[in-house]
Chain A
């Protein structure tokens, strides 16, 4: 049942990605609608999958890499669908859905079996900490997509190469706005994820902060995004600079999430 739901989700995400990429080639309104419907269906299937797994496992299913990647994908699609609803920029989907598909496919390369929870993790903080962390990751992922689009569009405008792609991409203003909104949504979540993690660490391991690689890298990620928000609010880092930082931030974040788990042994290495 669980495996079937996962397969359905993956297939729908694949179909949605194809539809969104087709929209990039031929931006017809009807095609955009179809793409959104497929993605929404995939999102629904993914939600059911996650809930089903929660019931079966008896705890929040974000305890190993398979589950984390799956939940990351779910959060990205959720944040993206909200964004599309608000900004009506279907073409953003052409950049974000492939990312969600990639992440969900990556989750298949890790064992999907439900394993009993490590006693150290048995806490209600598990849900709070992980869900907030991945929602913030998802917001930053959408910001990343918008930032890439911004850089492409900015390059077209600066170099005066106003081809078909330029016509299809939205205005710089909207892309910058999406970048900013995602940042202001993701940053507080990341902050709370780190704080809740510290509190949880105190109850589980007896210390708030132990400079484990995950903690260190989370802090680095937090500083990158804090710098970006600070720059935006005070000296007006917007446009190109903000886009570049959003991209840099996302790569740091990916390392915090995946690199640390895979390469740096520590308390957070749940494979």
Chain B
């Protein structure tokens, strides 16, 4: 049994393709059932997000299984296979395992380290579990992927730094003020970025919001939205000392806030620190404001610089994450390789034993002058022969179970001795884990 992955992502397909093959999250039953109905496929999980559509499945026939899933994706969404084919990737074996581990650990994301993808895969797995299209192998596989993702998250700093301008601003504020719960934010002007940043600050527990704008009605409207206080633009410098964090994004073509104003304000605040964030281009705040004692000014370029260096840091952390994944793949691959060895050994033994018992019975029933301990001795003799014959092949199978190409040996043994093995049983899986 092999794990295969077929899909496309932001790396292989543009958004107009991705949206065509996306699955609606409310109707997952139909496609899931449709995939496992194909004869080649035994288990399936469908992951569909705005950045990727992937199907994880198990099959005995790698090429056939992949072709089936590709055709399914095209047919289900009414696209021609030829149009879809160039965007699709297909992995099996170790590559497939690595791929899913990397996706879950957010190493394959557009923004490396973003946390949503793990939740999305968990939801996707939830549907597969609900509709029983995932079985022992995919259950185990995805749980492993979740634990790998968790390990990456806790052992590397891949998701520890802000990679958006507004998050970067909030993090800076925390380094200046510590707690934000007794801090007030003032919005000067009302741009989209400004509102977004204000929302981030509110989510991080700032106490209050003040809004000022050249059009007072606009300020009032925004203040209402944030449950804050509107201030007339003329009163800006009378009120500024009440703000700890100032977010500025007016359309002004000159500096609105100058060092002299800020010196005055900071004196009124008894030198309590202030954090100015100038999101406007052209800038609203004179860069010299940064030189005022206990005042910190960051403009758009500064914040983007922070984000860029955080992204770089993430890239470095991603290397550590890859090492963790390498380690975990080894373990999981061993497990899955082992998966078919034990049932094969069991089947082989019972086949030999069955033959032995049948032949023994025939002999015993026709043997009239059997000595008193004859039956016992024949039993021992036949048992010894069977065990001696089976010892080398079983040992070889067990050895290959420690890694390597087990399927070759498993297939050979099955064909040579005409074994019928069903799916591995849950009980056997427990044994294999050790």
Using a CB–CB cutoff of 8 Å, the interface residues on chain A facing chain B are: 153, 157-158, 160, 162-163, 166-167, 170-174, 177, 235-241
Contacts and interface: CB of A to CB of B under 8 A. Distances in A.
B296 A235 contact: no
B273 A172 contact: yes
Interface stretch (B143-151, B175-183, B367-375): B175-183
A239 B175 contact: no
A236 B175 contact: no
A237 B271 contact: yes
Nearest to A166: B175
B176 A172 contact: yes
A235 B271 contact: yes
Contacts of B294: 238-240
B177 A235 contact: no
A236 B272 contact: yes
B293 A239 contact: yes
B172 interface: yes
Interface in B171-222: 172, 174-179
A170 B294 CA distance: 16
Interface in B242-296: 269-273, 290, 293-294, 296
Contacts of B177: 171-173
B108 interface: no
Nearest to B302: A160
A18 B296 CA distance: 34
A89 to B, nearest CB: 11
Contact of B175 (A153, A163, A177): A153
Contact of A240 (B172, B293, B298): B293
A236 B305 contact: no
**Chain B interface residue number, banded:** 20 to 34
Contacts of B271: 235-239, 241
A239 B309 CA distance: 27
B178 A171 contact: yes
A157 B305 CA distance: 13
Contact of B179 (A173, A238, A239): A173
Contacts of A167: 161
Contacts of B272: 236, 238
Contacts of A157: 172, 175-176, 296
Contacts of B293: 239-241
Given A162-B306, A236-B271, A171 B296 contact: no
Contacts of B269: 236
A160 B175 CA distance: 12
Contacts of A172: 175-178, 273
A162 B309 contact: yes
A158 B176 contact: no
A160 B270 contact: no
B306 A158 contact: no
Interface in B156-181: 161, 172, 174-179
A163 B157 CA distance: 13
Contacts of A238: 270-273, 294
Contacts of B296: 157-158
B314 to A, nearest CB: 13
Nearest to B183: A173
16 contacts: A157-B175, A158-B290, A160-B298, A160-B302, A160-B305, A170-B178, A171-B174, A171-B177, A172-B175, A173-B273, A174-B178, A235-B271, A236-B271, A236-B272, A238-B271, A240-B293
Contact of A239 (B161, B273, B305): B273
B113 to A, nearest CB: 15
A124 B419 CA distance: 96
Given A236-B272, A237-B271, A173 B178 contact: yes
B251 to A, nearest CB: 25
A235 B302 contact: no
Most chain-B CB neighbours within 10 Å: which of A166, A171, A235?
A: A171
A180 to B, nearest CB: 13
Given A158-B296, A236-B270, A171 B309 contact: no
Contacts of A235: 270-271
A171 B298 contact: no
A219 to B, nearest CB: 28
A172 B161 CA distance: 19
Given A239-B293, A241-B293, A173 B176 contact: yes
A153 to B, nearest CB: 7
A161 to B, nearest CB: 9
A74 to B, nearest CB: 30
Nearest to A231: B271
For the complex of A and B, list the 8 residue pairs with the smallest distance between their C-beta atoms, beginning with the closest. A236-B270, A173-B178, A171-B178, A236-B271, A239-B294, A171-B175, A160-B302, A173-B177
Given A160-B305, A163-B309, A235-B270, 18 more contacts: A153-B175, A157-B172, A157-B175, A158-B296, A160-B302, A162-B306, A170-B178, A171-B174, A171-B177, A172-B176, A172-B177, A173-B176, A236-B270, A238-B271, A238-B294, A239-B293, A240-B294, A241-B293
A95 B269 CA distance: 31
Nearest to B295: A158
A202 to B, nearest CB: 41
Most chain-A CB neighbours within 10 Å: which of B175, B178, B179, B272?
A: B175
Most chain-A CB neighbours within 10 Å: which of B172, B176, B271, B290?
A: B271
Contacts of A236: 269-272
A168 to B, nearest CB: 11
A160 B303 CA distance: 9
Contacts of A160: 298, 302, 305-306
A100 to B, nearest CB: 26
Most chain-B CB neighbours within 10 Å: which of A153, A160, A167, A170?
A: A160
